[in-house]
Amino acid sequence: MNPAVSSSPRSYGRTIFTVACLALIGGGGYWYYSQFQNESRQARPATRSAVPVSVALTSRHDLPLYLTGLGTVQASLTVRISAQVDGKLQDVLFSEGQRVKKGDVLAQIDPRPFKAALDQNKARKAQDEALLVAAEKDFARASTLMNRNFGTEQNFDTQQAKVAQLKATIAADEALIENAQTQLDYTTIKATSDGRMGIRLVDAGNYVRVADANVSPITTLILMQPSAVIFTLPSRYLGELREAMARGTVEVSAYDQGNRQVLETGELLLIDNAVDQATSTIKLKAIFKNEAEKLWPGDFVNARLLLKTQEGVVAVPSSAVQRGPQGLFAWIVTPNNTAEPRPIEVGPTTGDLTVITSGLNEGERVVIDGQYKLQRNATVSITAPKSADAGALR
């Protein structure tokens, strides 16, 4: 047998095995290279894109400075309509919520007992006046007899004293008549001023007493034109408030509880004469014509007082003001369109604008929207603002 021929199949098998091993090694190398390339691409930092922000230009404004305090509406006049004499409430002559004029009859207490007392006192006075006439005649006769030396001095003095006594009695009768007339007049209850009637608290037919008047009045009469608002402000503004009043009329506007709608505009009437030490506040009173009666007694309102107008101050939209660990700051956009944080100091806020006392100059661009994405020296792109802040660049 030929050896070369017999070994040929075994050599062929080794060749197949060698080729397979080389293919497996090559495939593994390619897989490892691909994984390395992917990891390299993932590890390579991506280029940052520009951050979209909205900006506004700092500018100078004449801004009014307002102070706002919570206040209570107070009627210019509040009268408890009550009985001034004891008696049966005969009639109630007003309607709840009715407008009345001064002198209008509101209620009637049974006048008969008081009319009888008045008549009795008038009759007593007439009786005493008749006695006085007789006493004066007796005194005249005693005086004549005394002058002629026919009468005694004792009789003269007696008649003179009797006349004086009756005159005093008549004076007392007149006082009793006046008191009885007053009591009778009190049975007719009248409006003491113009105003609006409240809810009726006592119905006709009930017996009313003067002792119960403060506990249960018949109703309440309120004069709403004009009306006042009593409100408080921090006492640190006391000096500026006094200066404002010294300059002239200080405007006060009354807003609803939501602080959105102006109910009425009036003026500051007075500053209270003492500071509340417990709260370090000062009370103020503003007066309003209240012709439309939008101010209702007892209601809570927000009183906004115009303290002064600040002229030519640098101001920015309030959304530009940010608070950080080091205090207040604002993001500005440099001429190279990069972001830079700038420390600032602020003054009062009026509407959507905040006064900048230091840190910004007129004409600088400040970010009003998109600040949360910014870092120092980040590239920015200016977009339309989401809100209508004053001075925003579109």
DSSP one-letter string for 60-111:
EEEEEEEEEEEEEEEEEEEEEE--SS-EEEEEE---TT-EE-TT-EEEEE--
How many angstroms separate the CA atoms of 316 and 56, rounded? 7
How many angstroms separate the CA atoms of 209 and 349, rounded? 57
The pLDDT value recorded for residue 226 is: 93
307 within 8 A of 66, measured Cβ to Cβ = yes
25 — pLDDT class (breaks 50, 70, 90): low
178 within 8 A of 125, measured Cβ to Cβ = no
Q: Is 308 helix (H, G, I), strand (E, B) or coil?
A: strand
Amino acid, res. 261: Q
What are the C-alpha distances in Å from 374 to residues 124, 130, 356?
A: 101, 109, 22
Residue 362 tokens, joined? 């007129």
pLDDT tens across 322-351, in order? 998 888 999 999 988 898 999 999 888 887
Q: How many CA atoms lie within 13 A of 167 on its CB side?
A: 7
Q: Is the dihedral of CA 153, 155, 161, 163 positive or negative?
A: negative
- Name the class of domain 80-212: mainly beta
pLDDT tens across 34-85, in order? 554 555 455 444 456 888 888 988 888 888 888 999 999 999 999 999 999 9
pLDDT tens across 152-183, in order? 777 777 888 988 998 999 999 999 999 999 99
CA distance between the termini of the chain: 99
How many angstroms separate the CA atoms of 70 and 300, rounded? 7
> Which H or E run contains 339?
strand 339-343
CATH 2.40.420.20 residue ranges in the chain? 53-62+312-382
Rounded to 5 degrees, what are φ and ψ at 268?
Answer: -70, 125
How many angstroms separate the CA atoms of 107 and 86, rounded? 14
83 within 8 A of 185, measured Cβ to Cβ = no
CATH 2.40.50.100 residue ranges in the chain? 80-212
Please list the helix, strand and coil fractions of the chain in percent, rounded to the nearest 5, in that order: 35, 40, 30
| CA-closest candidate to residue 144, choices 162, 124, 122, 159 | 159
CATH 2.40.30.170 residue ranges in the chain? 67-75+223-311
Residue 299 tokens, joined? 């209601």
How many angstroms separate the CA atoms of 157 and 143, rounded? 9
What are the C-alpha distances in Å from 156 to residues 139, 143, 349?
A: 7, 6, 95
> Is pLDDT of 390 > 80?
no
Q: Is the dihedral of CA 83, 88, 93, 96 positive or negative?
A: positive
How many angstroms separate the CA atoms of 314 and 354, rounded? 9
Least confident of 224-233, 246-255, 356-365: 356-365
Strand partners, 189: 107
Least confident of 23-32, 286-295, 363-372: 23-32
Strand partners, 3: none
**Architecture label for domain 53-62+312-382:** Beta Barrel (2.40)
> According to DSSP H, which parts of 248-291 are helical?
none
- List, in order, residues 6 or more apart from 232 with CB less than 8 Å away: 69, 70, 71, 276, 279, 281, 282, 283, 284
Q: Is the pTM of this model over 0.75?
A: no
Q: Is 282 helix (H, G, I), strand (E, B) or coil?
A: strand
Average pLDDT (86-109) is: 93
- Name the class of domain 67-75+223-311: mainly beta
Average pLDDT (305-320) is: 88
